[in-house]
Amino acid sequence: MQTTEQTPQHHHDASRAAARRQQILNAAAQCFREHGFHGASIALISKTASMSPGHIYHYFENKEAIIAAIVAQDLESLLTLTAELRAACNVRAALIERAAEGVFDQLDQAGAALKLEIVAEAARNPHIAQIVREADATCRRELAITIGEIRRSTGHDDTPAAVGEMVEVLASLFEGLLLRTIRNPGLDRTRVAQRIQIAINDLLDQPG
């Protein structure tokens, strides 16, 4: 679809529709965080979004489409973050410094609740699993390039598989924080972030 040049601006234009769509997604994200994908009803989402239940179906085919959109939106932020990391610069210090911010992001309770909900859903819903796995593969690819370059610059000559394993360990270290912040909300964020930085530093020095 190509956009017409002078943007005709009907009452019913595309930007208003997009805003309405986002309004639904924001409400849905909040409801899903508080009640889970299956615990949040369309009635509740519509109420939170201040519109009628029926109207939601003008923007989404069904509830699963809303879930898929939320999942895609959440993963997209992850993808841009990984891309940023990669674009910034490939030095070790930059990765490790960025990691501290990443730790704080992961430790946000509301965000963690939604991310956990997504992966739990992926474990049983093949459609969601596909979305999640494609995004994860992209992240891993990016991270592998970054880590590969860091390793090469410190004299290591790793196989792609070896780099892939390090990516897994790094990812595990980060994603585990989503569970930690639920299981132990009182943990010392700053101190844990520091220790994770050290752990990442050590990880980058593992034998090939």
Query: Which residues of the chain form contacts with DNA (CB under 7 A)?
Result: 8-12, 16-17, 20, 40-44, 50-55, 57-58, 62-64
**Do residues 103 and 198 make contact, with C-beta atoms less than 8 angstroms apart?**
no
**What does 175 interact with, of its own copies, DNA, none (CB < 5 to 8 A by kind)?**
its own copies
| CA–CA dist 142, 128 (Å, integer) | 22
| CA–CA dist 28, 69 (Å, integer) | 10
Nearest-approach distance from CB 67 to DNA, in angstroms: 10
| Residue 206 touches its own copies, criterion: CB under 8 A | yes
**Do residues 127 and 68 make contact, with C-beta atoms less than 8 angstroms apart?**
yes
Binding-site string for its own copies from residue 81 to residue 120, where x marks contact by CB under 8 A and - marks none:
----------------------------x--xx--xx-xx
**What does 199 interact with, of DNA, its own copies, none (CB < 5 to 8 A by kind)?**
its own copies
**Do residues 139 and 76 make contact, with C-beta atoms less than 8 angstroms apart?**
no
**Is the backbone of residue 144 left (phi > 0), alpha (psi -120 to 50) or beta?**
alpha
Stretch of 11-19, 20-28, 149-157, 194-202 contacting its own copies, by CB under 8 A: 194-202
| Residue 126 touches its own copies, criterion: CB under 8 A | no
| CA–CA dist 77, 73 (Å, integer) | 7
What Cα–Cα distance (Å) separates residue 185 from each residue in 36, 106, 188? Answer: 19, 12, 9
Can you give the binding site for its own copies, defined by CB under 8 A?
33-39, 109, 112-113, 116-117, 119-124, 129, 132-133, 136-137, 140, 161, 164-166, 168-169, 171-180, 182-185, 187-188, 191-192, 194-196, 198-199, 202-203, 206-207
